[in-house]
Chains A and B, each alone.
Chain A
Amino acid sequence: MEWKDYLLRRSAQLLLTVFFALIINFLIINLAPGDPAALMAGELATKEYIEAVRERWGLNKPIPERLVSYLLNVLQGNLGYSYTYLQSVSTLIAERIPVTLLLTLTSSIIAFFVGLLLAVKTSQKAFSKVDLFVSNMMLTIYSIPSFWLGLMLIGIFGVALRIFPTSGMVNVRSTGSGVFLILDIAYHSILPIVTLATIQVPIYYKIARNTIVEQSSEDYVSTFLMAGMSTSSIFKKYVLRNSLLPPVTVFALHLGYVLSGAALVEVVFGWPGMGRLLLSAVYSRDYPLIMGIYLVTSITVSLANFFVDILYTLLDPRVRYK
């Protein structure tokens, strides 16, 4: 009962967020200097094409009607037409989402475990020299621009040591298929994934460490200690389990950050995902494409937050549906 209410309210919030992102997008088009239709049609568009775009998006109508027509278009999955790729924006993005998610999700999972492991190690000696040193190291890593890190890894492992490919998702000269194709992709994805995982480790580390330190002085720890349980068992059975949830939410909260990192890293590695698409859109001022990418990432992040919140209520019995 209660849970259904929560689900409903949380869904409403999700819709509101998506709606908000759409409104921002709409405002950006309509407040832009010059003719919004020309903006969406592209620099090289013919007069007829501009007029067609104007018609399609209701840009010849007053603002409220424009908004309705804009929302209707988006609702039907029409995010506009890319005049550089000569393809609909939704198709373009849909093709690249899996490629980008491969990087993002794999690197997040790796970062989660690395961060947690480090946190487990250092939180045992909280506030010791080692702990402070690792914390400061993490802050420093958090300050590295993803694209630069990627570039340096290319320089070291691709150029100087020649152990990893420097660009792309597959070897263009090989015509492998099946297992070989998968292996080839995995091989090509190692450096970009390492790059993206590295910039995320500090995020997971910090939350995991702080949660573990906090949980270690909770009253239940002392109860089990007095019951004769060894410190290490208490840690494994109770403290760790109590410390897992905050890092999980961090995944959703920082997804926007990670996606932007992924976009930049893709550019460096020539990884054919949304980031590359974004770069070429920026270069050719392909506005519908840029807007589409902005919208899709907003929706992805909202959805991720939605699912993690719901997951949280299932994993943490304490959650009060607020």
Chain B
Amino acid sequence: MNLLELNEISVEYQLGKNNILALSNVSFSMYPKEILGILGESGSGKSTLALTIMRALPKNARIIGGEVIFNGKNLLNLSEDELNSIRWKEISIIPQNSMNSLSPVHKIRDQLRDILLLHEPKLDEKEVINIMEEKLRLANISEDVLDKFPHQLSGGMRQRILIAASLLCNPEIIIADEPTTGLDVVTQYQILKELKNLQSAKGFSMMIISHDISVISNTSHRTVVMYGGKVVEIGPSDSVVESPLHPYTRMLLEVQMEISKKTQNELHSRTNFNKPHKSVGVNFTHHSGCPFVQRCPFATEKCKTEAPTLLKVNNDHYVSCFLFNK
């Protein structure tokens, strides 16, 4: 059974007189108790995807079509009240850019308490504190932070607080948007390990979003590869990494291989992964054709005019490319 199902989701942003199509017919499912990786370079629509599921897109965004099915309900059709009972209690998120994800003038304690009480209004102060402390321990951070303000904490600590926050109501799904971006190598490694352990201990499903293929391949069971607002490949992470199908995925892997070869002995090798490799700016006005056509070494005339669709290649491995669509 699918826990979460995305069907044909399209989202556009209005920017000045232009419309940017950030998601185009995105469909995939999330299974119970799995870690699903979303891989794609910066600007490929990953955060837009996360915000669409949470229905928290910025004002200039418009969902053109599609549905998000959770527990048989389409989240995109729910009333604000119905939605608010699902938010955080069932699906929570560790937002991208944890730097400003909390209010700068409120103590961590007040912010976590507010969130918890929204969904568990009957708790007394003692229980609230117990739960907050328990979750902080799970996120491997001391309770002392409760009386601190966000700016008094390091990036890693803030990220851990947001992890603790996401656990507050024991949700079924946690979305982690670039959970390690901007952190130092050691912290990155620890946080990923902790997230993995938490997931297997608690049994929730987790969506890990990253531009870094090593983050995804080290954590997730299945991987969704996105390019230019479209899903280009889905498959078990092992097969995606070992036998990538889509030319874009192959390119990503080659780049990573090169980098790790070059920097094998360098201490700070990981920092290179953090930078989204040169983003070539996707041509969003060009809706017809394959989104990858401009960078694809295998592109044919057909790729310019027709859009490939996601097709099953072998067990649970799907790709959207004409090379596999004879």
Say yes or no: A219 contacts B95, CB within 8 Å: yes
Count of chain A to chain B residue pairs whose CB atoms are closer than 8 Å in the complex: 75
Is B269 among interface residues, defined by CB-CB distance under 8 A?
A: no
Cross-chain contact of B104 among A217, A229, A237, A318 (Cβ < 8 A): A318
Scoring A residues 200 to 230 as 1 if CB is less than 8 Å from chain B, else 0, what string do you get? Answer: 0000000000000000011110111111111
Contacts of A225 in B (CB 8 A): 54, 56, 87
Is B222 among interface residues, defined by CB-CB distance under 8 A?
A: no
Say yes or no: A228 contacts B105, CB within 8 Å: no
Interface size class of A (residues with CB under 8 A): 20 to 34
Say yes or no: B84 contacts A223, CB within 8 Å: no
Q: CA of A151 to CA of B119 in the docked complex: distance in angstroms?
A: 57
Scoring A residues 47 to 84 as 1 if CB is less than 8 Å from chain B, else 0, what string do you get? Answer: 00000000000000000000000000000000000000
List which A276-322 residues lie within 8 A (CB) of chain B.
315-318
Is A241 among interface residues, defined by CB-CB distance under 8 A?
A: yes
Q: CA of A241 to CA of B103 in the docked complex: distance in angstroms?
A: 10
Say yes or no: B152 contacts A317, CB within 8 Å: yes
List which A174-224 residues lie within 8 A (CB) of chain B.
217-220, 222-224
Contacts of B84 in A (CB 8 A): 228-230
Cross-chain contact of A224 among B58, B104, B105, B115 (Cβ < 8 A): B115
Q: CA of A242 to CA of B83 in the docked complex: distance in angstroms?
A: 26
Closest chain A CB from B78 CB (angstroms): 12
Closest chain A CB from B139 CB (angstroms): 16
A interface, by DSSP: helix, strand, loop or mixed? helix
Say yes or no: A227 contacts B115, CB within 8 Å: yes
Say yes or no: B95 contacts A229, CB within 8 Å: no
Contacts of A224 in B (CB 8 A): 114-115
Cross-chain contact of B87 among A228, A237, A242 (Cβ < 8 A): A228
Is B252 among interface residues, defined by CB-CB distance under 8 A?
A: no
Is A26 among interface residues, defined by CB-CB distance under 8 A?
A: no
Interface centre among B97, B99, B101, B165 (most CB of A within 10 A): B101
Closest chain B CB from A34 CB (angstroms): 56
Is B286 among interface residues, defined by CB-CB distance under 8 A?
A: no
Say yes or no: B104 contacts A219, CB within 8 Å: no
Contacts of B93 in A (CB 8 A): 226
Contacts of B51 in A (CB 8 A): 222
Is A6 among interface residues, defined by CB-CB distance under 8 A?
A: no
CB-CB under 8 A for A219 and B101, given A227-B92, A228-B87 = yes
Cross-chain contact of A242 among B56, B105, B118 (Cβ < 8 A): B105
Say yes or no: B118 contacts A227, CB within 8 Å: yes
Contacts of B101 in A (CB 8 A): 219-220, 222-223
Instruction: List B residues at the A interface (Cβ < 8 Å).
Output: 51, 54, 56, 58-59, 80, 83-89, 92-93, 95, 97, 99-106, 114-115, 118-119, 149, 151-152, 165
Which 4 pairs from chain A and chain B are nearest by CB? A228-B87, A219-B100, A228-B84, A317-B149
Instruction: List A residues at the B interface (Cβ < 8 Å).
Output: 217-220, 222-230, 237-238, 241-242, 245, 315-318
